[in-house]
Structure 1
Amino acid sequence: MKSQRILIIEDDEFTRRLLAAFLEKSGFVVTEGGDGKDLHARTRDTAFDLIVLDLNLPDEDGLVLTRQLRARSRVPILMLTSRDDETNRLVGFELGADDYVTKPCNPNELLARVRAILNRSSKPDDKDPAAPIAFRGHTLDLQRHRLTDPQGEEVQLTAGEFHLLSALAMANGRVLSRAQLIDAVGSPEDALTERSVDVLISRLRRKVEANPQEPDLIITVPRYGYRLAVS
């Protein structure tokens, strides 16, 4: 059986190495990072089964990173928080985190929660995160970066259009704010704006809507964002 891959992002080197060694001893393949830049670099080219994310990092806010991850990926997220971070824990859950462990961290508790999350995410009736997503006759292949229309013809998308559509499709009908879509489309170095998102939405509609002037697939939610009509 293939070992599951875990990414630990924790700025305290002693804590990070302790948890990494414990998880490796338990059979996981562990990658380490100490800040938000490491998170972006590690997740750019590697698919992880779970990310352990400290909310208090030196360069980027862990809650912002949680929102960015959830906008572009279904990867399970286990938050590392301080004991007085109750508000942050609640916000983290609202942003899509799966569970949390308080620091100082008990490695046995971390292992139990990691296993519980992975068990939930790997149930046979759960959707494969990499499986193609079907909506209104279209099929979005996340691995091949390919969209086909109801006639089976490939729809040519730019990278930005693909990432935006992927975020909407993975949200499974939930509304995503423009801020969440900015996270899904751009890297931290990109100077994207809400107007950029609106422009991409307009371009996407011309490619996937039967009538772009009266869209019924990519729905505008006034004063908030957009959602994909998945059924």
Structure 2
Amino acid sequence: MTERSTRILLVDDEQSIQALLSYPLRRDGYEVVQATDGREALARFEERPFDLVVLDVMLPQLDGLEVCRRLRSRSSVPIIMLTAKSEEIDKVVGLEIGADDYITKPFSMREFRSRVKAALRRSELSRSAERDGGSLDVHELRIDPDKRTVSLRGEAITTTFVEFEILLTLARSPGRVFTRDMLLARVWGDSAYRDPRTIDVHIRHLREKIERDAKEPEYLFTVRGVGYRFRDTDASS
């Protein structure tokens, strides 16, 4: 059976942006399916599998944030959001509802292609799932790298792709301090073009999911002025 080409759903209501982004993607060998509003994007997503979604925030019918929320409720497909420079709040909200990355307009084609390749590379690594060792059990938390699942006190915890990667990276090196740039490089392959504060958003969201009290964490600790660390495996509580 012939393997299909990597398929990308490109969602933007501006024809000029569609043309600008579709050309380099197709030149790189990707199949590009276009949608120009939120409802069409959801319809296209139901028709066939996708390896990546590139999603503008400002869309007719349903905005990009709502589309992202609905996609994330049914799929772990990587999502890159396109935002205007003035829409800082949309970046934060987008990350919190499950976007894996965002690109601020205007952006260079080199940056765009770099982000797309990094997202697809992460997704491929996830699918191949040749992970080291079995489940990680720490206190009341279990992380299963092969199944890409997280459970707390026996209850399943839903994480985005990026949240899972950050948690797994930290948990595999208990007690080790990771800077934001180190985490960016581990999860995205590099820290180029990315705001280190992106890590803070994902850490905050993870704490809301796995900590009894996000202000008094048991698992994810802040090392002020440096970055973050996971609890030591010999911690007593």
Give distance in 2, aligned partners of 1:171 and 1:43.
26
Match of 2:133 in 1: none
Match of 2:157 in 1: 174
CA 1:27–1:55 in structure 2 vs 1: closer, same or farther (change >3 Å)?
same
1:46-195 pair list within 5 angstroms = 46-123=48-125, 127=129, 173-174=156-157
Match of 1:9 in 2: 11
Q: Residues 97-123 of structure 1: CA distance to partner in whole angstroms, max 9, x if unpaired?
A: 011111123222111001001111111
Residues 10, 55 of structure 2: 8 Å contact kept? yes
Which residue of 30, 33, 39 maps to 1:31?
Answer: 33
Supply the AA of the counterpart residue of 1:20.
S
Per-residue deviation, 1:126: 5.7
Give distance in 1, aligned partners of 2:58 and 2:40.
14
Match of 1:20 in 2: 22
* SS of equivalent to 1:40: helix
- Number of residue pairs matched by the alignment: 136
Identity %: 40
CA 1:7–1:125 in structure 2 vs 1: closer, same or farther (change >3 Å)?
closer
Q: Residues 54-95 of structure 1: CA distance to partner in whole angstroms, max 9, x if unpaired?
A: 010022121111110000011100000000111110111111
After TM superposition, the score normalised by the length of structure 1 is 0.54
* SS of equivalent to 1:93: helix
Give distance in 1, aligned partners of 2:37 and 2:107.
18
Give distance in 2, aligned partners of 1:61 and 1:171.
30
Supply the AA of the counterpart residue of 1:174.
I
* SS of equivalent to 1:123: helix
Match of 2:180 in 1: none
Supply the AA of the counterpart residue of 1:102.
T
Per-residue deviation, 1:174: 2.0
Q: Residues 6-36 of structure 1: CA distance to partner in whole angstroms, max 9, x if unpaired?
A: 0100001001111011110111110111001
Which residue of 24, 27, 42 maps to 2:44?
Answer: 42
Supply the AA of the counterpart residue of 1:5.
R
Supply the AA of the counterpart residue of 2:44.
R
* SS of equivalent to 1:39: helix
CA root-mean-square deviation = 2.4
Give distance in 2, aligned partners of 1:92 and 1:170.
22
Unaligned runs of 5+ in 1: 129-168, 177-231
Supply the AA of the counterpart residue of 2:116.
V
Give distance in 2, aligned partners of 1:55 and 1:40.
14
* SS of equivalent to 2:157: coil
Residues 42, 71 of structure 2: 8 Å contact kept? no
Give distance in 1, aligned partners of 2:67 and 2:126.
29
Give distance in 2, aligned partners of 1:41 and 1:109.
28
